[in-house]
Amino acid sequence: MTDTSPVLEIHDLHKAYGDLEVIKGVSITARKGSVVSLIGSSGSGKSTILRCANLLEDSQKGDILFKGEAVHWKGEDHNRRPADAKQVLRIRTNLSMVFQQFNLWAHMTILQNVMEAPVTVLGRPRAEVEAAARRYLDKVGIGDKCNVYPAQLSGGQQQRAAIARALCMEPEALLFDEPTSALDPELEQEVVKVIKALAEEGRTMMIVTHDMRMAADVSDHVVFLHQGLIEEQGPPDTLFGQPRSERLRQFLSHSVPA
């Protein structure tokens, strides 16, 4: 029997910057082996939800659960913070995040970049991590770039190295924050190909993306956000093929998947 238990659950999430409320009560669940894509115009709250889920941003209200375990909080409203630093570290290391801007260490080779966190954060044996790092770099198609530095790679290659780094943490889920938006179209397709392959493997993923074609191809569930709320959600065929909301129809008219 296939395990489809929830890996990441977000319930009634609220997030504000000062008086500006950017997330106004959002609930999303990513189940084991599923791909959830968050779409919407700039400023709709997509990336903020991802950063709150990974505890890179503090939310003011709502519950975040990882494999059924709720994040412990202290304080309220703008003073609310995670209460247990060890819990935060455990959740973050199991929700590997791939950012828009790669965030590779410029002074380290690609292999060293991929190995750094498993060795220093997780304390795994260096030889074991190196073997895994080389395997993941092969997987994303840049196994021959182990000994070069980030500046010597194209943007697409750097993003694929960032994906290998995330995979090397052996996470329960991968979080992608606009993984292709900093790339030109040709390099973008290199990264999309890797993400599609991960989806086909049954990896649990939550993806914030502007690429409607990728969202349509890889997702099990798509969430359309508008002004900090879920305007519409459902399977990609329904959302892209038969949108109910006028706002979603307008949005898709400018970015319809081919």
Task: State the pLDDT confidence band at 258, using cuts at 50, 70 and 90.
Answer: very low
Domain formed by 6-102+172-253, architecture: 3-Layer(aba) Sandwich (3.40)
pLDDT in tens, 214-235: 999 999 999 999 999 999 999 9
Contacts of residue 116, defined as CB under 8 A and 6 or more positions apart, other chains included, come to: 105, 108, 165
Which tokens go with 228?
A: 């900090």
Pairing mode, if any, of strands 205-208 and 173-177?
parallel
What is the average pLDDT value for the chain, to the nearest integer? 93
Residue-wise pLDDT tens digits, 36-77: 999 999 889 999 999 999 999 999 999 999 999 999 999 999
| Contact call for residues 104 and 162 (beta carbons, < 8 A) | yes
**For residue range 98-156, what is the model confidence (pLDDT) as tens digits?**
998 888 999 999 999 999 999 999 999 999 999 999 999 999 999 999 999 999 999 99
Contact 160, 141 (CB under 8 A): yes
